[in-house]
Amino acid sequence: MRKNSRIIENGIRKNKIVIKNNDKDIVYEYKNNKIIKSVNGNGNITILNNVKSVEFNIINYETLKVNLNITL
């Protein structure tokens, strides 16, 4: 992650995280048992399948903790 990036967490639901940069917004979101990544709201790519739940937690400005519960 670039030094000028910011991490924004959805306070109500912790299953979505936004990483803001000067020129783009990268969103990681749990939806339909998948973790999906999109850039600037355009398109999406499945990062991980078979996810039961996910929780994103910001530890500090450089560390992001992700708790996953997946099916095997």
- Per-residue model confidence (pLDDT) at position 3: 63
- Per-residue model confidence (pLDDT) at position 68: 94
pLDDT tens over the chain, length 72 residues:
556 777 776 666 688 888 888 889 999 999 999 999 999 999 899 999 999 999 988 887 778 899 999 998
- Per-residue model confidence (pLDDT) at position 30: 94
Asked if residues 6 and 20 have their Cβ atoms less than 8 Å apart, the reply is yes
* pTM, full prediction: 0.80
User: Residue 65 gets which letter from DSSP?
Assistant: E
User: Residue 54 gets which letter from DSSP?
Assistant: E
Indicate the helix (H) or strand (E) that contains 30. strand 25-31
